Structure 1
Amino acid sequence: MRPILTLAAKDFRLMLRDPRAGVILLLMPVLLVFILGLTVGGAFDPNKKEQLRISVVNLDAGLLPDAGPFPGRPWSDILLEDFASTADIKVELIPSREQAEALVHSGERAVVIILEPEFSDHMQRCSFVGEPLKKNPINPLYRDGIQISKLGVTVVRDPTQEVAAAVVEQVVQVALMRVVIPWMIGQAFEMIGTPPFMDKMKKYVPSLHLLPGDLLKSIGDAMQKGISGFFVDYDFRGKTWAKLTKSEPPPTKAANTSAYQSDGSGAIRRGAVRYQALVPSYTVTFAFFLVLVMGWLFAAERRHGTIVRLNAAPIARWQLLLGKLLPCFAVSLLQGFGLLIAGWVIFGMPLGSRPELLIPVVFCTSLAAVGLAMLVAAVAKTEQQVSVNGTLLVMVLAGLSGSLMPRYLMPEEMRRITRVTPHAWSLDAYSQLLTNPEPQTMIVWTACAALCGFGLVFLLIAWWRMSVEK
């Protein structure tokens, strides 16, 4: 045991001669994960369904006391329900105008819709007809759709994000049309045959003056029934889009509406879900960068003749192998656990329902990584060979395994091929523990067994190669 610890202590001292390299090796994956988390958003989340976010400030004061029986609640509620029941739309409620303007001015939101206090009142006054049939009517329609300013809707835009703002405004236009037009049609249709309507008609049909009131009422009722019978696919008395078109209203999706929250969690306030994919991907990738560290150590010792003297020393090959393995294995464990802790503390990444199982996954991943590092170190003769061959091997395995690109984006055949790499098995285990609410422990333990198998095979080949060299 003493020769092993002596060799390990020597390699530790060699590593400590260049502390900056060690710091870079430990901090580089954290920095890379941080940068990718900022830039890729939720692209690494396979379960995430992209939703268009509509940010709304609801200042609506509600209906006036004499508003009438319909709709019986603030029009803002109806509009927000329409947003939320539309597929792939997420409604975000911002509490104040000032906060909304600050978010737009800082570029965090491309556009915010503000429903002013008079929104319900103006919506209630929308009508196809004017005085005296409708008191203080508002006609919000114009060539391009709805004049939202007439309805008490203010749009706060970021001029640097015109395309995103235009998309949101178009969605708002469509939603307002679904809400406003059935209401205007329903009101107008109800007025057909009423005394004010028939009095208006006398201007165009003078003979109506000669008819008694009962007959006029009968004619008015017949006009409503006749128009309804002609347009059998529509109910003009309905004041909602579903009733007007005689269709089933979409289910209200309460989960699509939420209060404003600053993006993400953790110390940097970024989305945590993305890091459940990024952190394990780059934990695995950088674990195998130890190939370069160990390769350089071996190459330096060959250059200085140390390997020859070690081979001549009275120590077994397995002792030499373990003595060289332990320092890099410790560094790999430090790197793996450090990145998981950084993901939890800095990025707000949940550690899943079985965080204790992350310990064997990190150990087994490090064993496979150190095994491969020992193999490369035993084969490569010079620093140049380590740099070229080791870097190529690390990058090819990372790309092939799905560490650099999510595996769910790969073709099915390619996903099967990734199993030839230890990275893929490690990613399977991390995926179960970090993203599955009920992780399949059999998959985790199978992955750990596969990683240990890779590590032992690599070490046996390295042991054999060192035996041949001796």
Structure 2
Amino acid sequence: MPILTLAAKDLRLLLRDPRSAVILLVTPLLLILVLYFALGEGFGETTDERLRISIVNLDHGLPATVPFPEKPWSEVVIDDLSATQDIRLEIITDRAEAERLVAKGRRPAVVVFGERFSERMQRCSFLSQPDAVNPLGRDGIEFDRLDLSLVTDRTQPVSASIIEQVAQVTLLRVVIPWMIGKAFQRVGDEKFMELVTDRLNRVKPVPPEVLAELDPVVQKLLVALTDSPEFQALVLQEFRDAKGSNFLKAGQDALVIAGRKAEFRRAVHKAFQSPKLLEVMGKNIAFGEVLTPAVRKQVGPTVKRGVGDLFSNYNFEAVKWADLVKSDARRAGTTNRTTVSAIADLRAPILVPSNSVMFAFFLVLTVGWLFVAERKNGTLVRLRAAPITRGQILLGKLLPCLVVSLFQGFFLLAAGRVLLSMSWGPRPELLVPLIACTSFAAVGLSVLVASVARTETQVAVYGTLMVLVLGGISGALMPRELMPEQMKTISLVTPHAWALDAYAQLLASPAPDVTVVWTSCAVLLAFGGAFTALAWWRMDLE
């Protein structure tokens, strides 16, 4: 068949040309390797101006019987962090992965919640208890007391310090209200008042000046008591009991006392003004004797309310920061959180396909030079005289170029796997149609340029300029994620951009969108068909 004969002849010419091997295989491979080792592991990660806080949460939480909080304390802290503006959270599921990222310099610091974080948080208290945890230290929250740690990169001390301070502020917002709320609940309760009474019982004797200040209270009690008919009846009954059957004498004594109550009150008043008497009175009295159980029951809640009224701008019974300072609660967000089990190295998944796509279109130079050589040698003129059609000639030229392009695509993909340990993703079988469609589009454009160019200089100028311009517009020279949205839309006028979108799905996404892959393949076939049709129309065999 003339088509196969032409294809075999052109394939031999292509394989004999050392420039083809250098341009299509050696150059892209060397460029991929140089860029791979020159760029850091963080290359290709989505840029975000917000501060990234990486977290490993190993917290076991609390028993279901604990009424507050309703979730593990680590989640409470994470919620507070997620409510902070200009912060995005990265939840890493594996501590080993976090340590690897820090060791590689990809993360300046990672916050690690230990398994006992919730249990330690629940025990935080200002109170003197055997099992209480005091997390407060000179520099703020002592992480180790809460089973919290910060894995840091010593080569990035500034960034690590910023992350540590953000964690400190968040922990203070969570820990301080919890500790204040638990402590204030104890103010005025029965045990608290017992402690106060015990302390006051140690103050003995009562100083005379303290008793002197009780005189007005005593006077009020005496007035109420001596003016009461019930008290006068009690006095009369007591005198009757003491006098036995002499009721007349008992009544007279009672009347005398009732008539002299004013003098009695003045005598008591004068006694409270005498330091010598007061010293005798207070010798065997302790402060705590005044705080009887009934008094403590009344005084305790009043003390708590009094403290609350004194600091009315705060709610010391609260256990959350917003309730403590009486402000609107911080709203936790989930849109700024991402959970990852391992941070992928995106250097190879970006560099290999971008260079494969761009250098696939460098086939323009090889095919152009082949056409120019055949024009010089008169091969195209002889083909015109042969009994074959223009379509057969074009197809005979396309097939060897397509074989070379397919080999180039699979070669670079295999090199990425072998040399750079690049994964082919969860759907490697879809790489085959993607490489084939990309090669078809590249071959179509190559034949189109070759059909127009007349000299090697024109091939070099047209081909190189077109390949570089298309590579820059499409995102083959730089990740499309870094482009503005408008430029991303413009880039879709190139076949490169569609191929890169499909490669991104297959090599960089854990769950590739197959629809995007097949759509890209269809568009690449359309590009290839259009380029081939134009090449057939423009082809000059002279």
TM-score of the aligned structures, taking structure 2 as reference length: 0.64
**Counterpart mapping for 1:296-315 below 5 A:** 296-304=369-377, 306-307=379-380, 309-311=382-384, 315=388
Pair 1:447-2:523 in alignment: yes
Q: For residue 52 of structure 1, what is the aligned residue in structure 2?
A: 53
CA 1:219–1:425: 2 relative to 1, 3 Å: same
Q: How much does 1:13 deviate?
A: 1.8
Amino acid at match of 1:387: A
Q: Return the alpha-carbon distance in structure 1 between the equivalents of residues 181 and 425 of structure 2.
A: 51
Q: For residue 223 of structure 1, what is the aligned residue in structure 2?
A: 303
CA 1:123–1:78: 2 relative to 1, 3 Å: closer
Q: Deviations over 1:323-381 (max 9, x none)?
A: 222211112223345556677884224355x955x655544432332122112223333
1:331 to 398, 404, 409: 404
Q: How much does 1:82 deviate?
A: 1.9
**Counterpart mapping for 1:324-403 below 5 A:** 324-338=397-411, 346-350=421-425, 361-403=434-476
CA 1:314–1:252: 2 relative to 1, 3 Å: closer
Q: Return the alpha-carbon distance in structure 1 between the equivalents of residues 514 and 396 of structure 2.
A: 40
Pair 1:17-2:92 in alignment: no
210-219 or 287-296, which moves further after superposition? Answer: 210-219
Q: How much does 1:279 deviate?
A: 5.5
CA contact (8 A) 1:186 1:236 kept: yes
Please give the secondary structure, in 1, of the residue aligned with 2:81: coil
Q: Deviations over 1:186-230 (max 9, x none)?
A: 132123112256449958x97874343323332221232344467
**Counterpart mapping for 1:61-72 below 5 A:** none
Percent sequence identity over aligned pairs: 43
Q: How much does 1:81 deviate?
A: 4.9
Q: Which runs of 5+ in 1 are unaligned?
A: 265-269
CA contact (8 A) 2:92 2:340 kept: yes
CA contact (8 A) 1:428 1:444 kept: yes
Q: Return the alpha-carbon distance in structure 2 between the equivalents of residues 200 and 289 of structure 1.
A: 93
Q: For residue 227 of structure 2, what is the aligned residue in structure 1?
A: none
Q: Return the alpha-carbon distance in structure 2 between the equivalents of residues 452 and 20 of structure 1.
A: 24
Amino acid at match of 2:165: Q
Q: Which runs of 5+ in 2 are unaligned?
A: 83-87, 215-286
Q: For residue 248 of structure 2, what is the aligned residue in structure 1?
A: none
RMSD: 4.8
Please give the secondary structure, in 2, of the residue aligned with 1:90: strand
CA 1:30–1:45: 2 relative to 1, 3 Å: farther
**Counterpart mapping for 1:133-148 below 5 A:** 133-135=128-130, 140-141=135-136, 144-148=139-143
Q: How much does 1:159 deviate?
A: 1.6
Q: Deviations over 1:116-149 (max 9, x none)?
A: 78867865664446xxx44586654456432435
CA 1:155–1:364: 2 relative to 1, 3 Å: closer
Q: Return the alpha-carbon distance in structure 1 between the equivalents of residues 346 and 432 of structure 2.
A: 24
Q: How much does 1:11 deviate?
A: 2.2
CA 1:118–1:220: 2 relative to 1, 3 Å: same
Q: For residue 214 of structure 1, what is the aligned residue in structure 2?
A: 294
Q: Return the alpha-carbon distance in structure 1 between the equivalents of residues 312 and 424 of structure 2.
A: 56
Q: Return the alpha-carbon distance in structure 1 between the equivalents of residues 514 and 46 of structure 2.
A: 17
Q: Return the alpha-carbon distance in structure 1 between the equivalents of residues 472 and 41 of structure 2.
A: 18
Amino acid at match of 2:55: I
Q: Return the alpha-carbon distance in structure 2 between the equivalents of residues 410 and 107 of structure 1.
A: 26
CA 1:260–1:362: 2 relative to 1, 3 Å: closer
Q: For residue 92 of structure 1, what is the aligned residue in structure 2?
A: 92
Q: Return the alpha-carbon distance in structure 1 between the equivalents of residues 426 and 66 of structure 2.
A: 52
Q: How much does 1:303 deviate?
A: 4.9
1:236 to 313, 316, 328: 316
Q: For residue 267 of structure 1, what is the aligned residue in structure 2?
A: none
Q: Deviations over 1:133-183 (max 9, x none)?
A: 445866544564324355555544332122332233223313321332122
Highest CA radius of gyration, 1 or 2?
Answer: 2
TM-score of the aligned structures, taking structure 1 as reference length: 0.72
Q: Return the alpha-carbon distance in structure 1 between the equivalents of residues 22 and 198 of structure 2.
A: 87
Pair 1:289-2:366 in alignment: no
CA 1:119–1:440: 2 relative to 1, 3 Å: closer
Q: Return the alpha-carbon distance in structure 2 between the equivalents of residues 251 and 411 of structure 1.
A: 30
Q: Return the alpha-carbon distance in structure 2 between the equivalents of residues 94 and 430 of structure 1.
A: 28
Q: Return the alpha-carbon distance in structure 2 between the equivalents of residues 118 and 406 of structure 1.
A: 43
Amino acid at match of 1:191: R
Pair 1:456-2:532 in alignment: yes
Q: How much does 1:394 deviate?
A: 0.3
Amino acid at match of 1:195: M
Q: Return the alpha-carbon distance in structure 2 between the equivalents of residues 173 and 33 of structure 1.
A: 43
Amino acid at match of 2:143: I
Q: How much does 1:417 deviate?
A: 3.7
CA 1:404–1:173: 2 relative to 1, 3 Å: same
CA contact (8 A) 2:444 2:535 kept: yes
CA contact (8 A) 2:25 2:408 kept: yes
Q: Return the alpha-carbon distance in structure 2 between the equivalents of residues 445 and 104 of structure 1.
A: 39
Q: Return the alpha-carbon distance in structure 1 between the equivalents of residues 473 and 336 of structure 2.
A: 38
Q: How much does 1:393 deviate?
A: 0.8
